[in-house]
Structure 1
Amino acid sequence: MKTRQAHATLPHVPEFIGWLATELDSRTLFKHQYVDRRSGAKWSCESLYDAYRGYAWNHPGNARLSFNPGASADSNAHALEALRQDLQAAGSDDERVLQGALDVMAWGGVSAHNAQWLKANKVGLGRMVQDVKAALIKKDPDAPILRSNTLRFNSGMTKIYSLVCPEFVIYDSRVAAGLGRLVVQYCKAKGLTRVPEGLNFPWAAAKEGENSTDPKNRNPSTGTLQFKRLRSGSHHARWNMNASWVLSQVASHARCAASPFRTGVTPAQTLRAIEQALFMIGYDLGAAANA
């Protein structure tokens, strides 16, 4: 439990958790809007829960796992549960883990290089996933497998580990951007001029075409409140653990017991809903984020 204890004691981390739990249903702090680059439609939210209600991710269907294509939170929940059960049942069997991982990449729209790497590293893949899973569950960033230079941990692999590890969020560029924006709001509320180290959740750029005329902004930095860049591998794994722990603490906090995020659902569903709200907000933080 080294990471949980170490991260929990860093300055402002407990305060941020309490603040976010208190403000989770704020109708003023988390208003946001942007234009979806693909559809041209305007997206907006009045609160974090409103962002979750507006969640949309167009995922393909999967005949093997018997789920249809869809886009809503409910459709994605059904798909993710099928993918989760499949990966859990695969254990350390290389063939089954490879198939399950490829299906996760297809769901997340991140097959490309990830699928190529998974196929090239099929031998031992099942054991590797199990070993990384064990280290993540122990919250030990110093575990040899998480410090290895060969560790593959990116926006694709975070989706796999989010399904096989309890209380582990998908930490991709959109979720990182959304979480960073919450930290900025906290810093402003507390009069801070620097982002505390324990809250400096690294950000990653959106995948854009070279000639994009209207690039999406996923850097939450503004003024003197500056965030680090996310690096793949050990750095990504460490901050994925930190983000997961912080958000899981918020999800179960007594101060937000009456939140609609908690109504009639399990703690795991609450955590996933918060993650999905951040995913939606983090699509594009807009020019104002860097003002």
Structure 2
Amino acid sequence: MNFFRLLPGASLIALSAPAALHAQDITTEIRQDISRLLTLQVLTHIGELQETLGNAFQKNLYVDTYRSIVLSGKECLQPEVTACPAAAILANKQLHRYGGDFEGQDVIASIRTELDTYDLSRSTYQRELDLVRKRLREHYLPILKARELAKERRLLQINATRPEVTVLPNGIQYEIEPGNQDIRDISRATSETGITFYTRITRDVQFDALPESIRQIADQLPKASSWTFYIPCETEQAAEEAGRHAALDMAARRKERMQQLIPDHMQNARPAPDPDITPSPKERNPLLRLKVWKDTPEYPATVRPDAIETVI
């Protein structure tokens, strides 16, 4: 479960749900590729379990458990208590990632048809799986990214209405936990990106390693025991651009000052060209949620495990 799901209010939780309302974005070809991907994932998983468990593995029980969850269209809240937890966990992942974009009946029919011949075609299936993933990365991934962007904007809108959240003119939102620490003294940070598909990492960090947009507003931030920031990509890009312009301006002023101090005959006949620090175009990054604090006995770290959830 990610940070965004822990925010108060059912409307924020709904932001993490499968985007069934966007099903019109999906072409027939994409829908078929998703169904094929899920089928191959299930068959591969069954093959792995058969190798590990041998005769103790009951593939029909696996398929029945998987079928009941996928056709329900809802993630199972307690996969560990089902007849086959391994099948329930995979079904949950697939519904979370692709719910609303595939027909469960098509997937079940394909699994039933190929269940007994999978072992004979394992290498062929692996090659097919790679090709399907490649097509989905090309045609489906842009749709998922557009959906994530819409969810980000909605989340920021809702978040801005919460009384404990402060919204800054540059677009950053933040909230604090009471305390008397200065943000320049932080030692730990948990960063999370994404809403439906998210990555969460906790690490040691110093103030100088924080995003440029945070360092630029440090003087505006109150003392606290922790700070949680919501940083839109555009805000960080603007801060980085401002930082680059400031660096160029400082370099130009330093060069001008040096020219004033050094006699003409000691200056190079041909001045060295200014370094090209124009950044390369970057892919848009997702919304960053960043919690930072100084890890002390008075404020011990209690964080969730790191997580990386890929899309395809």
TM-score (norm: length of structure 2): 0.27
Q: Could you say which structure has the greater relative contact order, defined with CA pairs below 8 angstroms and 6 or more residues apart?
A: 1
Could you say which structure has the larger radius of gyration?
A: 2
